Every structure is written in structure tokens, then in C-alpha cells.
Amino acid sequence: MLELRNITKLAGAETHISDVSLKLERGTLNVLLGPTLSGKTSLMRLMAGLDKPNSGTLHFDGVDVTGVAPQKRDIAMVFQQFINYPTMTVYENIASPMRVAGADRKTIDDAVQRAANLMKLTPYLQRMPLNLSGGQQQRCALARAIVKNAGLVLLDEPLANLDYKLREELRAELPRIFAEAGTIFVYATTEPSEALLLGGNTATLSAGRVTQFGKTIDVFRKPNDLVTARTFSDPPLNTIVMRKSGNNLSLDGGMAFPVPAHLGDVPDGIYTVGFQPHHLSLSPAGAAPVSIRARVIAMEITGSESFVHLSYADVRWVMLTPGIRKFETDETVEVFLDPQLLMVFDGQGRSVTNHAPLAA
């Protein structure tokens, strides 16, 4: 188990990581999700021992490893760039961590063949990494991480520079490969969809803080606060500021509807209401759908879905709807929202619908 206790990392006057506490169990997959500069890489560097925290401690299986050098920590790391030794063959690259560790030839050969087989690199073992495609280069780097058989495997956006198909393929395989070894698997990504596909646990990061940590699906469905909800939504979370008074939730001069049951005991006041793009629909759904007339700003069509950018009461929303739709710009459309799905946040951005404490 890897445990981070109140880790803070400053770089000059800037705070890169601010009071982060996490517990990562053996044999689990943990996603660090956050936008660029949210501190994912900084946190990984701290976990790897490449950087020393300014305060706080790191414990591995109960042992304090805060000041221990990275090579003594039983870790493997894969980076967004394809990092291989350019003058060594693929075979030698994969073998390099074991050579440093001083393993014998037979052990090295077995491990390299096994890792190459897993990463489909067997035909390329005698080639130079720079003569391979990007995907093969990254698989070579991944194979290096596999042979190390480390207790902690850190993957820093490893698939970001790969093409779509290969990314899907590797994303499905990676957790399986590393789960077999019972390692702690940490995976940094900027994409909410990638976190959902990987499953496991997710820690959402924003401005150097872990805003929430828990099972990926729970963090996605029940974010503790607005920041987490925004981090974990792509396309961006739709929000609107509304007033609750008595049994009514209303927008000044706009829509109004009865307060849904799950918000019954919330005190009156101003709240930020949020919902996912796929919660807007063109046909009524749920028990008491609210009808909203919004103006179309733009359309984006993927193969099987349409993103409709809408303007309603001076805020912009995105609706994700199945099938290919055609709307004219400035056309007014009627869309529906199920109030049961609303996430409601108070003035400090805390969720009033989900009071689960932040996992330590």
C-alpha cells in the first residue's frame, strides 16, 4: 500500500501540490484525473521519488520512503513522450532495468520474451526504437516497465501521443497486464472518458489539490463539489444559477419547476445547478421532465452522436444526443431535462445532494 500523508510541494513561490493525502491499495488501478497543470505529473514525480515534498511523508507498505532515491523504490514509470535508449535495440531496451539490477542471462531472456509477447514486439526485438512507429516505441517503453515487475507502476498520460485505435487497444490491455502482478497502478490522464473506461479508483485534481478520491463511477456520479464535477465532465458540465424558495426551484424571469424529491430538505437560497450534456434530451424522459426552449449556437456531429451547443438565459450548454441531428444556427429548439438528475451546489461550490466525506 502506498500512502501519501499531507504532501505539499512548492516550486519557488508557486504551489504545485497542496496538502494531498491518498491511500492506494495493492492490486488497484488508480486514475489521476485533471486538466493540464493540475498537478498530475508533479504528484507522480513525488510518488516516484524524483522530487522531494516540502512537507508531508510517503509510506510504502508502512515504511517511510520520503527521502529514498527512485532506483531504490521498486517503481516503474512510463511517460507521455516515448522514452527509450536510442542506441540500444528493442531487446536491450527492455532488458536494461534487469541488467542494472544484475539478473542472469536466462532470467533476463525469459522476462524480455514474455514482455515482448504481451506488447506484440517479438518481431521487432532486434530493431532500433527510433526505426519503429510511435505506438511500437511506446509499447517498448511499456515492456520495460513490465519486466521490472515493480510494486508501483506510474503511467503519465502514456497513450496521449498515440493514434486512436492503438490507444483503445492498449487502454483495454494495460490494466489487465499490470493487475496480474498485484502492483499499485497509477494512471494520469486529462480525459474523463479515459478514467471511466479504465474504471478502478479516480482522484480528481484541481490546482494541486485532490478534490475527491473514490471509486471512479462514484466520483463521476456523485461529485462532492462543483470543481470535481467540472473536472470530470467532457464536454464541459452544464450549469445555471437558480433560486430555491419553498417547494420551487426557479430562474429569475425564466424556467421554474417543483424541487425534486432528493433536494427536499435543502434550505432556501441561491444554488448552482449542474447536469451532464447527455442529461439534456430532445424528447421528454423521467417522471416530471422540464421543458426548456433554447437557441442553437452551433452543431458538432461525430459518427453516431450530435453535440448541440445551446444558449439559454445567457448561459451556454452542450447537449449530447444520439443520432445525427440537423438544426439551423439561431433556431429555437425544445429540450427536456429530468430534475431527478440535477446536481446542486451551494455558494461555496459544495454539493448539497452528496455529503460523502472526502476520502482520506
Partner 1 sequence: MEKTWNNRAWFLVLPVLLLVAFSAIIPLMTVVNYSVQDTFGNNVFFWAGLDWFQELLHSPRFWQALARNLVFSGIILAIEVPLGILIALNMPKAGWGVPVCLVLMALPLLIPWNVVGMIWQVFGRVDIGLLGKTLSLLGVDYNYVQDPVDAWITIIVMDVWHWTSLVVLLCYAGLVSIPDAYYQAAKIDGASGWSVFRYIQLPKMHRVLLIAVLLRFMDSFMIYTEPFVITGGGPGNETTFLSIDLVKMAVGQFDLGPAAAMSLVYFLIVMLVSWVFYTVMTNYGQES
Using CB under 8 A, pick the residue from 1, 11, 101, 356 that binds partner 1.
101
Dihedral angle of Cα 174, 176, 180, 185, to the nearest 10 degrees: 50
Query: Smallest distance from the beta carbon of 154 to partner 1, in angstroms?
Result: 9
Q: How many CB atoms lie within 10 A of CB 235?
A: 16
Residues facing 343 on adjacent strands? 274
Burial, 326: exposed, middle or buried (Cβ in 10 Å; 0-12, 13-18, 19+)?
Answer: exposed
CA separation for the pair 57, 22 (Å, rounded):
11
Radius of gyration of the chain (CA): 24
Query: Smallest distance from the beta carbon of 33 to partner 1, in angstroms?
Result: 21
Candidate segments 1-9, 92-100, 201-209, 298-306, binder of partner 1 by CB under 8 A: 92-100
* Residue 96 touches partner 1, criterion: CB under 8 A: yes
**Number of chain positions touching partner 1 (CB under 8 A):** 25
Region 253-312 residues binding partner 1, contact defined as CB under 8 A: none
Region 193-252 residues binding partner 1, contact defined as CB under 8 A: none
Dihedral over Cα of 197, 200, 201, 205: its sign: negative
Using CB under 8 A, pick the residue from 65, 75, 125, 263 that binds partner 1.
75
Query: Smallest distance from the beta carbon of 151 to partner 1, in angstroms?
Result: 13
Candidate segments 69-77, 268-276, 285-293, 310-318, binder of partner 1 by CB under 8 A: 69-77
Candidate segments 11-19, 67-75, 213-221, 257-265, binder of partner 1 by CB under 8 A: 67-75
Region 106-135 residues binding partner 1, contact defined as CB under 8 A: 128
Query: Smallest distance from the beta carbon of 169 to partner 1, in angstroms?
Result: 23
Residues 17, 173 contacting (CB under 8 angstroms): no
Candidate segments 70-78, 166-174, 190-198, 325-333, binder of partner 1 by CB under 8 A: 70-78
Using CB under 8 A, pick the residue from 10, 50, 299, 359 that binds partner 1.
50
* Composition of the chain by helix, strand, coil, percent to 5: 30, 35, 35
CA atoms within 13 A on the CB side of 291: 5
